[in-house]
Structure 1
């Protein structure tokens, strides 16, 4: 299929963004699709086209060789297009990524949109303090006398209750993090215990997965659990993280989180999310214990509530295996800038990369040294290569900037920590290379709070081990030097030639050379003057000849004075 020139594509987008009526908008959209059927317009709002339009065939289909042609855009039009952004599919995008939240989903669901009101039920304890023993959900309507009641909400609620007679709950358990057991064990044998109703109910309402315990404070589960459900008996879903103990009668409860399935089922926004695949977000829920507000870790996952018919039509989503997979992290350190001198005339910079393995041991690699930088800049073109098992226990990479000293110990100037957890999981899910774009990392130091301590320019790639074996790269600037090629650096790579003493000696040598040349030229001028005087007395030359020779000597003296400073 032939693609139209990009200038026509841009002009149509501009016309669409400037359309004043729905009819004009529809016409421009149809014309745009007619020119290129592969162009997708996901939003109906034409004003958002400049932010959300994208091309299936990637940037190359619109601009061959990644070169944007000259559209002849005037300065006025450039100001109008200041916020224009080309959204194209790059090699780091994942089409089926599920949205993720750092808190419980109910915090994002407005309780006022529920068709009923929820209030707590209190009971006094033995010392007279009120305790919550349950919740009452009700509908209360107050209408003027003689006015008919609006029964539409009640009828809708009745229909939803009838539909909830036979439901299926799917809990997708991904992982738990920072588990804190009461027994203070370093690495608990964690497993999940799920319940959504009393044991006497008919059906499958509890799962105790003690046979798949994971020895870790940050266990990966990646399993889907399915339970039967009907309201109001199965309103609360309890997800408990347990510690399987040995030598005791009962396992230890690390913490649990409660999900009100009824509130979700009757919430209009939740029902909308359930109608679309991949829209139920991943939640990060706090794990609590009875009578305590202290978090004992977090549970990461999501849940779905389906009718029996929908459960048959929608297959269970496959999750990643719990087995760790080897990957290679490739980091290119290009350069540094704004490194503080700290009252010194020069600083000798090198960058250290530190990664922590699952066994807690750190692996560090250093660049070569950029000696005696006088302005806080340094160039390296250096590659770090780390092997890591994904998912790792410690998914962070630390960069440190050091000042190398010859006699005393090296000085730590600044540092920065980069969390690669999401990118590592993305590479594992895709089983492909994930490249992070080049970026300047802002460096800090705990002894200098709120103060920038330089920037490091890096580029990071995460490569599956098989691909890394098929296309290896060398550390530093060693061969194979590719992806990307790292040019050799010769500036400031010798300590002696870049020290202040060496620079001063070089200046002295240049000055001595200039003085020696001036002295030799001055002696030459004196010899010429003496020769002219001797010629005058011995040969009795004409005065004109003597004047010409003296003018030549004068020019030589002027050259020495003005051009040999």
Structure 2
């Protein structure tokens, strides 16, 4: 929680309102030491039972201050309650949390393992067999490599199966203006179920009967950072010198000494260990910085991981389940609990009978099914590192329960100034050569709707892009009249300048985006464009790597047929992603760049309720757009001679200047030395 009226939030309580009914939690006595509520289960009876008439839930956080003051320091509204409906008699809805601690076993390596290591396992898992050596021939484990955050993997329910996180806002301020800024977070969950109409029928069992301890949990966190991919350049040579900085609570690990020079795809291979208390230190922040010798290091981006969700999720996204149970070697078991113990906990969570083992651990009965070790290991290479049969079989059964496997996840690095926007343009053609001989472009984006060319809008200029990436954080706003029956836009304009009256035209709803290179002393250079039909919108790509000309009509497929599925923006209301911009060169269509946009259709009434200005002008809200986080070298050199010397000339030629100054001092020293030497003068009389 952020401060309110210059005072910290120290004694909050939560008020839950729904359909005129109100319940309130007990007050948290010491918010800094333990932000959990002492009594965390509330029950609220409300009407009606019909889904469509269910009122929203309003959450308000109240801070209890001296002299009886109880200001509302944050609130949020939950409109959709459908996800919270449940069957109260279903046992599997009851989640039991068991958190135990054991000492990790001692790692034992044999001489055989010197030929392979963890990197062999990683390269074998991503398909780079030429780098993994004999790893695959030994029949060892592979791991799951996700191309996204673990929270984004659909089968793991965003890791919010125990509780969801809701953003708290301030609401109305003293001057009756809406404050959309986020001031804190509330974590909780809801269960909605019908009560019997007959008062003689007993109520269903209460939900959330088994909960984790409300006291803080001390945890040990190990962070394995493998590598970074396609970092944003920060140096004038189009490269970066990245290193890691990891923060957890009040602790920070600065790995500046291990920076990787001149690379956008560094391989770190770092393991960092930190201790923390949850939930106080729930946010693990992993940042990448650019190393600079003479200037301040610049942040490339950061990602934040909610550790509390990972601790409490029933999918066990902690260590992950490997393919086999090994007691030694590079695939040695790393979890605190053995597979048999984990399986017993899963049985408690799901309300089924504990597993029974037969035939010396080679046969197991779990949840009414019989599992055989021989069946599981039919295609498994048996090697000396495998553990006892009982644990191997328990692990095989666990891998059938939908838990998180041993994995490596890929996380997007976001800018602090643009937390939800990575890079708006990418892979733009570098059309110019700078004064220091570097390829670059001064990028800006222009947009308009056909038939309304008089209302063309363009962004500000991202100067001196050395890698084809441009950051804008800019809003285009176009007003138009739309006829749903005809699916056409109505445009009124004078057909000729001498006409007295405007003529009404009907045009298809389309949106044109162009990328340009800005030139101060000549005509701007055209780099590419895309025209989007809002009724048959080309589905965007979620990542810039998958964005190509194949998405456009008539695009050439590089591997197999490709037919994009068209959608109407008037039905979707909002869509976000990457679109390719094409340019004709030598009679062929080539990729001129990629642009990331959010397209949103807003009705006039909604626009009045949620106003938004063009660009970053006021009212800068819905959402608020902050200035983009551009490199220090992004400026117009002609109007900034000091910056030109500092960020362009000095960065590129600093060693020339330094060596030149040293040579000048040496020459000056030698000149003074020779000048001051004594001279013997002889005279003949």
TM-score, normalization: structure 2?
A: 0.28
Q: Which has the higher helix share?
A: 1
Q: Which has the larger radius of gyration?
A: 1
